[in-house]
Structure 1
Amino acid sequence: MSKKRPSSNSGKTSNTPGKTANAPSKTGHAPGKITNAQKLRQAQRKAQLRTWIITGVSVAAVVGGVIAWNATTRVDGVTSFSYAGSVHQQGTVQYAETPPVGGPHHPAWFNCGVYRQPITKEQAVHSMEHGAVWITYRPDLPQAQVKILERLVDGYTYTLLSPYPGLDTPVVISAWNRQLRVQDVNDPRLGQFLAKFEQGSQAPERGAPCIGGASS
């Protein structure tokens, strides 16, 4: 029986240990060499990173500036009071101020938000104890002006906005132990008051909830 000869390998390649054949680069560039396109992408990534860093620093500076403004700037025309907190009382409370700015209040707070009908003042006072700002306006205030007030509180989480009968000025903005009366819904002090006293240090229980309470 004849033995088969091993077939010859005319297309034989080198199998020398430790050596591999380098495939030619599809781009025509030597392996490991950074192309101009890669350099451009790296430069773009670095520029984007610098932009992010600059933006982050700018935002931090703005936030820091607002905090500093809130802590040090006086809002003209604000009247201060000295009511103690944590005094709960069921039923109607007779307040010296219209609307009230502090004092005894209902055990349940009123949920922060925008209301088209008057809300319970004893519960609104409780909300102010938690750091809320309460903006009240005359019930006959034109709807276009009410819309301006609604835009003012947009984005704030600790605010109440509601009509209040018997006001001696078109708008009154109140926080615990602080109050400002204005004639014009475009008065810039409304925004200053809101920025300064929403969750301000004057509130005895700032940070306590303004949701999960009463809503009607």
Structure 2
Amino acid sequence: MKALFLALLLIPLTGCTRTKAIEGEKVFQYEGGLHQPGRQTYKETPPVGGVHNSIWQHCGVYDRPIYNEHAVHSMEHGAVWVTYRPDLSQDDLATLNKLVDGRTYTLLSPYPGLPTPVVISAWNRQLQVNRADDPRLKRFLNTYELGKQAPESGSPCVGDASTSETQ
């Protein structure tokens, strides 16, 4: 019996649902709950976590840049932030709009100075891509929208939001 038990321990587990990493995904280690008024400096572009404003950004689609400090708070709540270069083609922008259509925990906004045409970010996660139709974008969104990586996943992403100057 003891030998059978030991043998079972050595058999590889099958049927486990282990998610493979998304190719090109970067992982970070920021703690949640760090609220501070005013503008903040972030290491990543766009940011993926850290100190942020106490007011979150209302999830939705924006045609102008939004404040990092509010978007980071929304990501702390489980939102995924899809950013794109302001000169992205209308066809590519339509592709991104379709990607987030019907989702309640997403932000979509232009972001000047991105390292690639499209960057998708969640709390402590980021993926940079060159095309709006890159299939990794949907996989990232499906994996991290309201994901366990967000310290306050499921907290509001609508309501007491800001689109104005950071307080």
TM range (shorter): 0.7 to 0.9
1:168 is displaced (CA, Å) by 1.3
Does 1:121 pair with 2:68?
yes
Equivalent position to 2:109, from 155, 162, 174 = 162
**Is the 2:86–2:112 contact (alpha carbons within 8 Å) kept by the matching residues of 1?**
yes
Structure with higher Rg: it is: 1
| Amino acid of the structure 1 residue aligned with 2:138 | G
Show the counterpart of 1:207. Answer: 154
**Is the 1:88–1:104 contact (alpha carbons within 8 Å) kept by the matching residues of 2?**
yes
Two-structure CA RMSD over aligned residues (Å) = 1.6
Does 1:193 pair with 2:140?
yes
- Stretches of structure 1 that go unaligned for 5 or more consecutive residues are 1-67
Residue 193 of structure 1 aligns to a residue whose secondary structure is helix
Show the counterpart of 1:111. Answer: 58
Runs of 4 or more consecutive aligned structure 1 residues displaced over 4 Å after TM superposition: 68-71
In the TM superposition, what are the counterparts of 1:64-213 in structure 2 within 5 Å?
72-213=19-160
What's the TM-score once normalised by structure 2's chain length? 0.86
Q: Number of residues paired by the alignment?
A: 149
Separation (CA, whole Å) in 1 of partners of 2:18 and 2:63: 32
Residue 125 of structure 1 aligns to a residue whose secondary structure is helix
- Stretches of structure 2 that go unaligned for 5 or more consecutive residues are 1-14
1:94 is displaced (CA, Å) by 0.3
**Larger helix proportion, structure 1 or 2?**
1
| Amino acid of the structure 1 residue aligned with 2:76 | E
Task: Using the aligned pairs only, state the percent identity.
Answer: 60
Q: Which has the higher contact order (CA 8 A, sep 6+)?
A: 2
